[in-house]
Amino acid sequence: MRMATILSLLLIGLLAGILSGFMGVGGGVVMIPLMILLLGYDQHQAQGMSLAVLAVPVTFVAAYTYHKAGHVIEWKYALVIAVCFVIGGYLGSKFAVSLNQQVLKRVFAVILVVAAVKLFFSK
């Protein structure tokens, strides 16, 4: 493995982890664009890799930190959402892998822009 690749992987992991713990984002919002830019992945590859990283409970420590501070009130709600997330992830991935690369990339970009505009202008 080349040094540039190793440094890119370290940067992607650190930024995703820091932003996940800091703002609750990391997977798609941070890792996917960075994998495309730094590693040359296409949209399908970056999304697949992001999902592979998140397959391990990497955010548990961050969630537990929030819990200890009193910010995760209902773990059973999180469990219900997690189960539905797994089902939705399966269905969404089946659809995404069948889409053309450019269409998938554009849909991803539009979702990011809409979310950013909504957050920017909300009170």
Mean pLDDT along residues 52-60? 77
The predicted-structure confidence for 71-99, as pLDDT tens digits, reads as follows 988 889 888 878 888 888 899 899 999 99
Query: Given a cut of 90, is residue 113 above it in pLDDT?
Result: yes
State how far the Cα of 31 lies from the Cα of 51, in Å rounded to an integer: 10
Question: What angle do the packed helices 43-54 and 75-96 form, to 10 degrees?
Answer: 150
User: pTM for this structure?
Assistant: 0.74
Residue 20 confidence class, pLDDT cut points 50, 70, 90: confident
Give me the helices (H) in 1-123, please: 3-23, 32-39, 43-54, 60-68, 75-96, 101-121
pLDDT of the residue at 44: 93
Handedness of CA 111, 89, 50, 1 (dihedral sign): negative
State how far the Cα of 61 lies from the Cα of 5, in Å rounded to an integer: 27
Contact between 104 and 43 under an 8 Å Cβ cutoff? The reply is yes
State how far the Cα of 17 lies from the Cα of 60, in Å rounded to an integer: 11
